Structure 1
Amino acid sequence: MDIVMTVAGSDSGGGAGIQADLKTFQELGVFGTTAITALTAQNTWGVEGIVSVEQDFVKQQMLTVLADFPVRALKTGMLFSAEIIEGVAQVLADKDMLLVIDPVMIAKGGAPLLQRSAIEALKKHLLPIATVITPNIPEAAELSGIEITSAEDAKKAAHILLQTGVNCVVMKGGHLEGDQAVDAVYFADGTSFMMESQRIRTKQTHGTGCTFSAAITAFLGKGFELKEAIIEAKKYVQLAISHPLNIGNGHGPTNHFAYKHYKNQVEVMVVEA
């Protein structure tokens, strides 16, 4: 059995965070384990409250799981504070594990999910040991320190992030303009490629970042090469957005079940740079 782990916050609405990760893991046939960093009271309208978990208990959750299960790949989502980031990095320092970082900063409804003091901690402690990071445009701008309004800006930001030591940067293009959504993938060895898909104009996008990074984690856990895992994860999240559940009255969740039902209908064009 392929075993993976998510270190992230809980979403009481079920569309993002730990809940989205576990649904994605289940759908993709891997066994998911967890360490919860924060509890949120939220729905599709937004986040009403956040309670952070103490650093020591986040570490205890991780260490307890890792002592028993051969976890092959691990993802981080909402880490909330510098203390939690430092604790996660301490646990992973001596572990030979594939690490996917979704730098969760702001909820769909606008609530901040990462304290400002934690941004430097993320860059200092986790990016140097990461296999891949999956920022959207606002997150990449915050982490790189440059304004991003074009694909060229996104490329510059990606190269700034690569200098932190991360092996691969997936610059998600959902916030840029155009009929095509273009995700650009840059590797530390200088290679890159693009993934192009039809832009879907919808409010049913809650949890897309969590779902995408969880899918990468699942495919890595199953033994996929990194490039293959990223491409297949893009197909998974594209289908999850394309076939909405239409539940909730705000930013509705994606459809984690869609991949199994519509796997052969997805179109993602891969363009080598």
Structure 2
Amino acid sequence: MPTTDQYDVHAPALALTIAGSEATGGAGAQADLKTFQELGAFGMVALTCIVSFDPQDDWNHRFVPVDQDVIAHQLEAIQANYAGQLRTTKLGMMGSPSTIATVATALRSQDWDHVVLDPVLICKGQEPGHALDTDEALKAELLPLATFTTPNHFESEQLAGMAIETVEDLQEAARRIHEASGAAVLAKGGVRIAGPDAVDVYYDGETLEVLSTPKIGEHAVSGAGCSLAAAVTAELAKGATPLEAARRAKEFVTEGIRQRVAGNTPFDALWQGGLRRP
């Protein structure tokens, strides 16, 4: 049998996403894995739920949770296989308080250098009461474990407890979210804030930086938030500082939006290969 030293052994950075499946490929775990690969990280996934757009109902979400034992088994296998090596993870769509509890238990079973939380607070396939319970569980159990969080405009308003209409509002929201969580924050204004630029705000308790690029259209693109958090995760796994990771992720998403993918949905999808050069 060949020995290890007979191979050209490469040890890429490892990155885990704990997220939902989105079958059309624009968002969710599919977007995360493509982002990891594009940025040179070895990706793995534990699926929490399956979301399918419904073409018969204005492309709204159909939401199916993954059984809790199945989630726990996925994480057990991943963490056992890469024990001592896997130290960076991204958290996406959870979907229920029970899933949040299962994931939080798995996270607490080992030490992490980086836990990147994309705080998905609303899923259109859920009943309002269930969605609220999920939101509260996320804030109570996952936000305290996060080292970096990437809330969108709506999520920033909810986590900061304030309306966000200006860049100054977004800066204040980032400060409040950091104070509440201790995590580095990349609060996303995107196209939701008036003006010619898509603006995000980074704040880690010391450094505040406004990341701004000209808007590419006036409509949100599916997968932008997932891919931004996944890009941050990949860069952190490779050794970037949180601010460096935020800057690189902004560039990654901007180029992915510029080269978006159109289908029959009323929204386009980000292409994770946007940084490639011809």
Q: Shared fold by TM > 0.5? A: yes
Deviation at residue 145 of structure 1 after TM alignment:
2.3
> Which residue, 207, 213, 231 being the options, matches 1:191?
207
Q: Which amino acid aligns with 2:228?
A: F
Could you tell me how far apart the structure 2 residues matched to 1:225 and 1:42 are?
36
- Specify the alignment match of 1:118 in structure 2: 134
- Give RMSD over aligned pairs: 2.1
Between 1:75-84 and 1:160-169, the stretch displaced more is: 160-169
Structure exhibiting the larger radius of gyration computed from Cα positions: 2
- Specify the alignment match of 1:33 in structure 2: 44
Deviation at residue 123 of structure 1 after TM alignment:
1.6
> Which residue, 81, 92, 101 being the options, matches 1:68?
81
Quickly say closer, same or farther: Cα 1:240–1:234, change in 2 above 3 A. Answer: same
Could you tell me how far apart the structure 1 residues matched to 2:95 and 2:197 are?
32
> Which residue, 56, 60, 72 being the options, matches 1:47?
60
- Specify the alignment match of 1:18 in structure 2: 29
Between 1:16-25 and 1:61-70, the stretch displaced more is: 61-70
Q: Indicate if the aligned counterparts of 1:204 and 1:254 stay in contact, CA closer than 8 A.
A: no
> Which residue, 81, 85, 97 being the options, matches 2:100?
85
Could you tell me how far apart the structure 2 residues matched to 1:194 and 1:154 are?
9
- Specify the alignment match of 2:121 in structure 1: 105
Could you tell me how far apart the structure 2 residues matched to 1:153 and 1:73 are?
30
Deviation at residue 203 of structure 1 after TM alignment:
4.5
Percent identity of equivalent pairs: 35
Could you tell me how far apart the structure 2 residues matched to 1:223 and 1:248 are?
39
Could you tell me how far apart the structure 1 residues matched to 2:51 and 2:248 are?
30
- SS of 1:40's equivalent? strand
- SS of 2:168's equivalent? helix
Deviation sequence 1:75-134 (CA, Å, 0-9, x none) = 011011111112211111142221101112346xx6569821122221221112211110
Q: Indicate if the aligned counterparts of 2:63 and 2:126 stay in contact, CA closer than 8 A.
A: no
**Number of residues of Structure 1 aligned to a counterpart in Structure 2:** 259
Deviation at residue 177 of structure 1 after TM alignment:
1.0
> Which residue, 195, 210, 213 being the options, matches 1:178?
195
Q: Indicate if the aligned counterparts of 1:119 and 1:143 stay in contact, CA closer than 8 A.
A: no
Q: Which amino acid aligns with 2:75?
A: M
5+ long unaligned stretches in structure 1:
263-273
Could you tell me how far apart the structure 1 residues matched to 2:234 and 2:22 are?
20
Could you tell me how far apart the structure 1 residues matched to 2:80 and 2:60 are?
34
Are 2:273 and 1:260 equivalent residues in the alignment? no
Q: Which amino acid aligns with 1:90?
A: T
Q: Which runs of 4+ in 1 moved over 4 A?
A: 110-114
Deviation sequence 1:162-212 (CA, Å, 0-9, x none) = 233332111111111110111111113x32111110111154711100011
Deviation at residue 34 of structure 1 after TM alignment:
0.6
Could you tell me how far apart the structure 2 residues matched to 1:63 and 1:210 are?
24
Q: Indicate if the aligned counterparts of 2:96 and 2:134 stay in contact, CA closer than 8 A.
A: yes
Q: Which amino acid aligns with 1:38?
A: C
- Specify the alignment match of 2:226 in structure 1: 210
5+ long unaligned stretches in structure 2:
1-11
Between 1:122-131 and 1:234-243, the stretch displaced more is: 122-131
- SS of 2:44's equivalent? strand
Normalised TM-score (structure 2) = 0.86
Quickly say closer, same or farther: Cα 1:102–1:48, change in 2 above 3 A. Answer: closer
Deviation at residue 51 of structure 1 after TM alignment:
0.6
Q: Which amino acid aligns with 2:166?
A: S
Between 1:4-13 and 1:61-70, the stretch displaced more is: 61-70
- SS of 1:31's equivalent? strand
Could you tell me how far apart the structure 1 residues matched to 2:241 and 2:153 are?
25
Q: Which amino acid aligns with 1:93?
A: R
